Amino acid sequence: CRQLFRSPSVPGSVPRPVLKWGQPSDRDNPVKAKRQRRVAGTPGQEASVEPGVWLEPSRSARLEEIENLLANDDQELIGDFSKPHLLPTVEGKDPGLKYISPDTLAAVLTGHFSSFIERSIVVDCRYPYEYEGGHVKGAVNLPLQRDAEQFLLEQPIVPLDASKRVIIIFHCEFSVERGPKMCKFLRERDRSCNEYPQLHYPELYVLKGGYREFFFQFPSHCEPRDYRPMEHAAFKEELRKFRGQSR
């Protein structure tokens, strides 16, 4: 169940109304799963039902809803397959992650998506001296994996309004290594402590260009209004220390 953003399809189906759990390999191939749904069960064909294959009604309905969503090839669903991604995405270095532009993050910060988002958490994965030299307003500094586990998974943040979302946006200096790596780590740990496909945080994004790009475009959304690079000459010792802790 430790799949990342290229989230697998729901288990392969049998002729309705019965839904069976598919083989694990079905989960790794969304296209194959969709193809199986299209050809399985012709009209009028009766399913051969064996004892014990029926799921609980609520779970059957849930899986059928996922199937219906996945039937549309244009849908880009979040990690638990419950709904499409809310934020517009852009192409990034890792095709398995969802990237957003600095403009989209600025729109989130200024409340343009407040009707749909109950809480947005910006996770700054840079080292503390970088964060202290300038960061996105309201961002939380989680440079190490244990920091992310403690802040996000020991007491998961859930929306009080079930119709709204909690989204997490990761970044580092350029969002090339530390931010994407932390995003993948959280999804993996989240998968491991939930029954598939459930997740505490199904909607994760990476800020393309990282803090550097965001600061140059939207300095008014940063505090202090400055940018301290990771390889700043005055912080060589801190860089060495945190790199050692990150291994």
- pLDDT value at residue 60: 65
- pLDDT value at residue 8: 42
Cis peptide before 17 (omega within 30 of 0): yes
- pLDDT value at residue 6: 44
- Residue among 217, 219, 183, 227 nearest 203 (CA): 183
**Long-range contacts at 235-238 (CB < 8 A, ≥ 24 apart):** 235/129, 238/127, 238/128, 238/129
- pLDDT value at residue 244: 87
Q: Is 193 a catalytic residue?
A: no
**97 three-class SS:** coil
- pLDDT value at residue 49: 38
Q: Class for domain 87-245, per CATH?
A: alpha beta
CB 112 within 8 A of CB 220: no
- pLDDT value at residue 71: 52
**165 three-class SS:** strand
Distance between CA atoms of 220 and 67, rounded to whole angstroms? 44
- Residue among 220, 97, 222, 235 nearest 168 (CA): 97
- pLDDT value at residue 245: 85
Q: Where are the beta strands (DSSP E) in the chain?
A: 99-100, 117-124, 135-136, 140-141, 165-171, 204-207, 222-223
- pLDDT value at residue 56: 44
**pLDDT tens, N- to C-terminus, the chain (247 residues):** 444 444 444 444 433 433 334 434 344 444 444 434 433 333 444 333 343 333 444 556 655 655 555 455 445 899 999 999 999 999 999 999 999 999 999 999 999 999 999 999 999 999 999 999 999 999 999 999 999 999 999 999 999 999 999 999 999 999 999 999 999 999 999 999 999 999 999 999 999 999 999 999 999 999 999 999 999 999 999 999 998 887 6
Among positive and negative, which fits the CA dihedral 177, 183, 185, 187? negative
Catalytic choice (172, 183, 193, 222): 172
- pLDDT value at residue 63: 58
- pLDDT value at residue 15: 39
Distance between CA atoms of 212 and 62, rounded to whole angstroms? 41
- pLDDT value at residue 76: 87
Q: What are the residue boundaries of the structural domains of the chain, listed by start?
A: 87-245
pTM exceeding the 0.85 threshold for the entire prediction:
no
- pLDDT value at residue 67: 58
